[in-house]
Amino acid sequence: MKKILTIIGARPQFVKASAVSRALKTFSHINEVIVHTGQHYDPNMSEVFFREMEIPKPRYNLEVNGAGHGVMTGRMLEKLEPVLLSEKPDLVMVYGDTNSTLAGALTARKLNIPVAHVEAGLRSFRMSMPEEVNRILTDRISDLLFCPTEQAVQNLNQEGYAGFPAQIHRVGDVMYDSALFYSQLAEARASVFPALGLSGKRYILCTIHRQENTDTIGNLKSLIAVLNTLNREIPVVLPLHPRTRKILQQNNIATEFTPIEPVGYFDILMLLKNASIVMTDSGGMQKEAYFFGKYCLTLREETEWTELVENGYNQLVGTDPDTIEMAFRRNIQKPFSDLHKLYGEGNASTQIIQIMANYLKN
Ligand code: UD1
């Protein structure tokens, strides 16, 4: 029996890991232990995902959160090491680009435990983003690199990975697996529509949480200003990240609509499926908009998911209100005539498990 230890801690990782955990259950000779770093801890940022997606209960919760990047990452390293020493996994799995990802990969690497990185090879080419630093460092110390896209593979090749011992596999995107699997369930179980009175109505679905938008007050003010303008025409639904909420309050930035609390996975799927357009600075939501055939305005200057822009499903609009308003008018309810299967066939997690099982045999 082989043991895999999965380290997760932030909202997008719950969505990604759930697909792989589900696929793992079908492999009787691999046992999974889950460690939650505690990075996200509000019930609607964490627990709701475990419940709805039936993610196995973490054996450990390290309760590291609410600190600066260095302190958070350092505390995670300190708390992860004894866990890895006592669990002695054959492989550690990390997801995405958060502080939990880097801390998990680094702890394992220092103990000479092989590391698998799901969502490897993504780059924004902006080193001021904490996520970019986490991605680059995690990729470099991983043994198995699971890339969601062709661009991700190319990024690694450009950085000289052909000469490194790590294995690179393009498997597609585990978030697509999750969206496909849970979309039926969401229809039956989501509660957001009656609660918000949205049935049959047009609306803009928006999320804002990136540091470059929330910590630069000018950017945040511009975004809220344009949302206030658009909301007079078509309602804005803004599930608000706790950090963004705090910063809006501290800076007396007022919305002319009522942002809602962060929603669970079923609700966000339903909100995506029925939206007229999506505006977001989240990485995951850009792809999820595409999965459901919705045009996305990305509230950033660059994206890691460049194939969405190149194929005309997404426009980078930054934070300038005029640019955003113009892009909104051009693209509201723009129907998709063709879906390119940019993120695989919805079987990324099965491929990951098969490759991992082979790797562990050797
Ligand atoms: C993190 C990830 C980001 C990911 C995002 C998804 C890093 C560097 N960033 O950003 O890549 O897209 O998660 O949401 O890891 N907070 C709460 N309740 C919670 C969680 C956080 O109040 O449940 C507060 C924290 O106390 C902290 C702030 O929100 O003050 C930021 O949380 P943090 O996890 O540091 O970063 P995110 O902005 O969520």
What letter would DSSP give residue 143? Answer: S
Ligand 1 atom at minimum distance from 9 CA = 34
The total of structural domains in the chain comes to 2
Cα–Cα distance, 359 to 232 (Å, whole number): 56
Residues 6+ apart with CB under 8 A from 25: none
Same domain, 357 and 277: no
What is the crossing angle of helices 348-361 and 11-24, to 10°? 70
The residue segments making up the domain with residue 241 are: 181-331
253 C-alpha vs ligand 1 centroid, how far in Å? 20
CB 234 within 8 A of CB 152: no
The pLDDT value given to residue 128: 94
Place of tokens 């505006």: 279
CB of 42 closer than 6 A to ligand 1?
Answer: yes
40 C-alpha vs ligand 1 centroid, how far in Å? 6
The pLDDT value given to residue 196: 87
Same domain, 64 and 114: yes
The reply to whether 82 falls in a domain is yes
Q: How far is CA 79 from the centre of its chain?
A: 24
120 C-alpha vs ligand 1 centroid, how far in Å? 20
The reply to whether 337 falls in a domain is no
Euclidean distance between the first and the last CA atom of the chain, given in angstroms as a whole number: 14
54 C-alpha vs ligand 1 centroid, how far in Å? 22
The reply to whether 350 falls in a domain is yes
Ligand 1 atom at minimum distance from 99 CA = 15
C-beta contacts of 131-138 below 8 A and 24+ residues apart: 131/97, 131/98, 131/283, 132/97, 133/102, 134/97, 134/98, 134/99, 134/101, 134/102, 135/97, 135/101, 137/102, 137/105, 137/106, 138/94, 138/97, 138/101, 138/102, 138/105
Same domain, 154 and 186: no
The pLDDT value given to residue 65: 97
Cα–Cα distance, 210 to 131 (Å, whole number): 10
Q: Pairing state of beta strands 204-207 and 236-237?
A: parallel
Same domain, 85 and 122: yes
Ligand 1 atom at minimum distance from 96 CA = 11
CB of 13 closer than 6 A to ligand 1?
Answer: no
Closest CA to 133 of 169, 92, 99: 99
Same domain, 303 and 162: no
CATH number reported for the structural domain that contains residue 203 in this entry: 3.40.50.2000
Closest CA to 349 of 11, 23, 7: 23
Same domain, 14 and 120: yes
> Can you name the residues that pair with 237 across neighbouring β-strands?
205
The pLDDT value given to residue 340: 78
Same domain, 193 and 314: yes
The reply to whether 53 falls in a domain is yes
The reply to whether 54 falls in a domain is yes
Cα–Cα distance, 214 to 218 (Å, whole number): 9
pLDDT block averages, 10 residues each, the chain of length 362: 97 97 92 98 97 96 97 98 98 98 98 98 96 98 98 98 96 97 91 84 96 96 98 97 97 97 96 96 97 96 96 96 96 75 95 96 82
Same domain, 125 and 12: yes
> Can you name the residues that pair with 117 across neighbouring β-strands?
94, 145
Q: Pairing state of beta strands 30-36 and 2-8?
A: parallel
DSSP 237-301: E-BPPHHHHHHHHHTTPPPSS-PBPP--HHHHHHHHHH-SEEEES-HHHHHHHHHTT--EEESSS
Question: Which residue's CA is the nearest one to ligand 1's atom 34?
Answer: 39
What letter would DSSP give residue 346? Answer: S
CB of 56 closer than 6 A to ligand 1?
Answer: no
Give all strands of the β-sheet with 277-280 in edge-to-edge order: 236-237, 204-207, 277-280, 296-298, 314-316
Ligand 1 atom at minimum distance from 210 CA = 38
CB of 101 closer than 6 A to ligand 1?
Answer: no
CB of 243 closer than 6 A to ligand 1?
Answer: yes
Same domain, 138 and 222: no
Cα–Cα distance, 280 to 28 (Å, whole number): 39
pTM: 0.96
Same domain, 31 and 114: yes
284 C-alpha vs ligand 1 centroid, how far in Å? 14
Question: Which residue's CA is the nearest one to ligand 1's atom 24?
Answer: 243
Phi, psi (degrees; rounded to nearest 5) at 315? -125, 135
CB 4 within 8 A of CB 24: yes
The reply to whether 336 falls in a domain is no
CB of 139 closer than 6 A to ligand 1?
Answer: no
Q: Pairing state of beta strands 60-61 and 91-95?
A: unpaired
Closest CA to 103 of 125, 144, 74, 141: 74
What letter would DSSP give residue 11? Answer: H
Question: Which residue's CA is the nearest one to ligand 1's atom 31?
Answer: 243
CA 99, 174, 31: angle at the middle one, nearest 5?
80
CB of 47 closer than 6 A to ligand 1?
Answer: no
The reply to whether 126 falls in a domain is yes
Residues 6+ apart with CB under 8 A from 276: 202, 203, 204, 234, 294, 332, 333
Q: Which residues are catalytic?
A: 209
Same domain, 39 and 164: yes
Closest CA to 97 of 206, 210, 180: 210
Ligand 1 mutation pick, 124, 135, 207, 241, max ligand atoms within 8 A of CB = 241
CB of 74 closer than 6 A to ligand 1?
Answer: no
Ligand 1 atom at minimum distance from 209 CA = 38
Question: Which residue's CA is the nearest one to ligand 1's atom 11?
Answer: 98
The reply to whether 265 falls in a domain is yes
Same domain, 90 and 205: no
Q: How far is CA 127 from the centre of its chain?
A: 19
CB 195 within 8 A of CB 267: no
The pLDDT value given to residue 302: 97
